[in-house]
């Protein structure tokens, strides 16, 4: 299929085989039939310099480099290479698009090489699981009991099952987030659970649960009752602060349906009302998607119409500075129309400098580069819509080789 590359042919398991060393490159010159030999760069460069050069390749190219010769295979497989690779600040995030709601299969988009790769994710069973990612690790939580929790590296397939999170076993809403320390590779996972108080639609129990990979244990530093607001499924951790969206349960103006709550994970204070940290959204939203871009909170939101705030008229991108929102960009109308029929809610995620936006109703994928303020479509995904009600969703993650849960 055009634009599709099988990732399995470049996976770690497929690479674990002996590869014969290629002969040095040489060719014959047409001029006077004189033999002209080209000196192979491979013979000139010492291992440490070659390691540093290869570490700056895109991840997909690194896998292919393993096939060049036995020397390159050994270099790319070495611990010292992974150390060099870890010093590369970031890889452009890939976007994984599910092809089925029943199976964890799909295609991952590489924005550097502009190619799609077939990938099967470990751990996850269906596309409706909760998903969060940070610095090469992806966290999955099941959508039924919400007690099955895994952390994995989707590139190397290393994985770890975590102990069941505390709190309510069955909550009405849950929001999952993960944050990885790039130096220590330790990680923090947060789950914000919300459940309606029995017999009272306006009051909701909200609890925050935190997992520390170094301590290997959960804590529940905060449990509160919110009045007029409930939690949802959107949260993210930026620079040690947990952010999550809350949603009005009625009683207020229709344009004030969303709000943002902040919680400092370093203090984990059980005191003080969550609502005191309330930050209003910049405009009436049909939905909001939170993401961490270089430790800054970024929100992609569907902008509601003035007279009908529940009907989407466009999409905006904002960054939070202190407690004030700064608008970064609005999707040009030609791209908004390019999705065809766009729902009031949509999928969006991002990291580093890239933001991905996807309609639930089509496999089209739009990419926004924060540093260049540039919009562009991805290469056409190999997925096709097979029936009218087929839904599409996905998430982004940073492809890393050196990080494991």
Q: pLDDT tens, 106-133?
A: 899 999 989 999 888 888 888 889 999 9
Side-chain-facing half-sphere of 226: CA atoms under 13 Å: 29
Torsion of CA 114, 401, 12, 142, to 10 degrees: -90
Tally of CB atoms within 10 A around 5? 18
pLDDT confidence of 339, banded at 50, 70, 90?
A: confident
Q: Which strand (E) or helix (H) includes residue 14?
A: helix 12-15
What backbone torsions phi and psi does residue 290 show, to the nearest 5 degrees? -100, 145
Which residues, at least 6 apart from 98, have a Cβ–Cβ distance to it below 8 Å? 104, 105, 106, 127, 392, 393, 394
Alpha-carbon distance of 80 to 102, in angstroms, equals 40
CB 51 within 8 A of CB 75: yes
Torsional class of 364: left (φ above 0), alpha (ψ -120 to 50), beta (otherwise): beta
Tell me what the pLDDT averaged over the chain comes to.
83
Q: What is the DSSP letter of 39?
A: P
pLDDT at 36 over 80: no
Question: What percentage of residues in the chain have a pLDDT greater than 70?
Answer: 86
As a whole number, mean pLDDT of residues 70-98 equals 81
Torsional class of 123: left (φ above 0), alpha (ψ -120 to 50), beta (otherwise): left
As a whole number, mean pLDDT of residues 174-197 equals 94
The pLDDT value given to residue 9:
38
What backbone torsions phi and psi does residue 9 show, to the nearest 5 degrees? -70, -10
The pLDDT value given to residue 286:
92
Tally of CB atoms within 10 A around 79? 8
Tally of CB atoms within 10 A around 213? 20
Alpha-carbon distance of 106 to 93, in angstroms, equals 16
Percentages helix, strand, coil for the chain (3-state, rounded to 5) are 15, 40, 45
Stronger pLDDT, 168 or 339, i.e. the higher one: 339
Question: What percentage of residues in the chain have a pLDDT greater than 90?
Answer: 50
Alpha-carbon distance of 239 to 294, in angstroms, equals 9
pLDDT confidence of 379, banded at 50, 70, 90?
A: very high
Decide the pairing of beta strands 4-6 and 115-120.
parallel
The pLDDT value given to residue 252:
59
pLDDT confidence of 138, banded at 50, 70, 90?
A: very high
User: Residue 352's closest CA among 73, 111, 75?
Assistant: 111
For the chain, domains (ranges, CATH) are 45-86 (no CATH), 90-397 (2.120.10.80)
Q: State both tokens at 259.
A: 């709000």
As a whole number, mean pLDDT of residues 1-20 equals 39
Q: What is the pLDDT of residues 309-332, one digit of tens each?
A: 888 999 999 999 999 999 999 999
Q: What is the pLDDT of residues 244-270, one digit of tens each?
A: 999 998 765 656 789 999 999 988 776
Torsion of CA 344, 115, 109, 134, to 10 degrees: -140
Most confidently modeled range among 153-157, 198-202, 249-253, 286-290: 286-290
Alpha-carbon distance of 302 to 317, in angstroms, equals 9
Q: What is the pLDDT of residues 59-68, one digit of tens each?
A: 888 878 877 8
The pLDDT value given to residue 70:
81
């Amino acid at each position: 299929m055009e634009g599709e590359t099988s990732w399995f042919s470049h996976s770690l398991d497929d690479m674990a085989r002996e590869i014969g060393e290629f002969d040095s490159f040489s060719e014959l010159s047409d001029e006077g039939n004189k033999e002209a030999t080209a000196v192979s760069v491979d013979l000139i460069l010492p291992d440490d310099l070659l390691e540093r050069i290869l570490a700056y390749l895109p991840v997909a190219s690194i896998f292919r480099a393993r096939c060049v010769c036995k020397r390159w295979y050994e270099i790319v497989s070495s611990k010292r290479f992974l150390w060099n690779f870890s010093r590369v600040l970031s890889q452009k995030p890939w976007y994984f698009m599910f092809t089925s709601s029943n199976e964890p299969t799909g295609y991952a988009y590489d924005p550097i090489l502009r190619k799609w790769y077939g990938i099967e994710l470990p751990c996850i069973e269906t596309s409706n699981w909760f998903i969060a990612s940070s610095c090469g690790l992806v966290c999955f939580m099941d959508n039924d009991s919400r007690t099955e929790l895994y952390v994995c590296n989707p590139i190397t397939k290393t994985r770890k099952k975590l102990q069941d999170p505390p709190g309510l076993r069955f909550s009405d809403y849950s929001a999952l987030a993960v944050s990885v320390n790039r130096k220590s590779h330790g990680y923090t996972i947060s789950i914000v659970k919300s459940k309606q108080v029995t017999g009272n639609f306006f009051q909701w129990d909200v609890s925050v649960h935190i997992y520390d990979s170094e301590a290997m244990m959960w804590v529940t530093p905060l449990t509160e009752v919110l009045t007029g607001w409930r939690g949802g499924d959107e949260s993210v951790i930026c620079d040690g602060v947990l952010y999550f969206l809350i949603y009005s349960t009625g009683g207020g103006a229709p344009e004030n349906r969303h709000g943002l709550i902040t919680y400092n994970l370093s203090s984990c204070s059980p005191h003080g009302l969550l609502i005191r940290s309330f930050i209003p959204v910049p405009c009436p939203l049909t939905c909001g998607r939170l993401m961490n871009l270089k430790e800054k909170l970024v929100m992609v939101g569907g902008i509601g119409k003035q007279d009908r705030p529940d009907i989407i008229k466009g999409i905006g991108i904002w960054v939070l500075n202190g407690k004030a929102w700064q608008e970064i960009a609005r999707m040009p109308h030609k791209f908004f129309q390019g999705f065809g029929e766009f729902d009031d809610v949509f999928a969006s995620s991002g990291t580093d400098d890239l933001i991905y936006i996807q309609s639930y109703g089509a496999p089209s994928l739009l990419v926004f580069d924060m540093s260049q303020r540039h919009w562009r479509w991805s290469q056409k995904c190999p997925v096709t819509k097979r029936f009218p009600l087929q839904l599409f969703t996905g998430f982004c993650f940073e492809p890393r080789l050196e990080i494991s849960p």
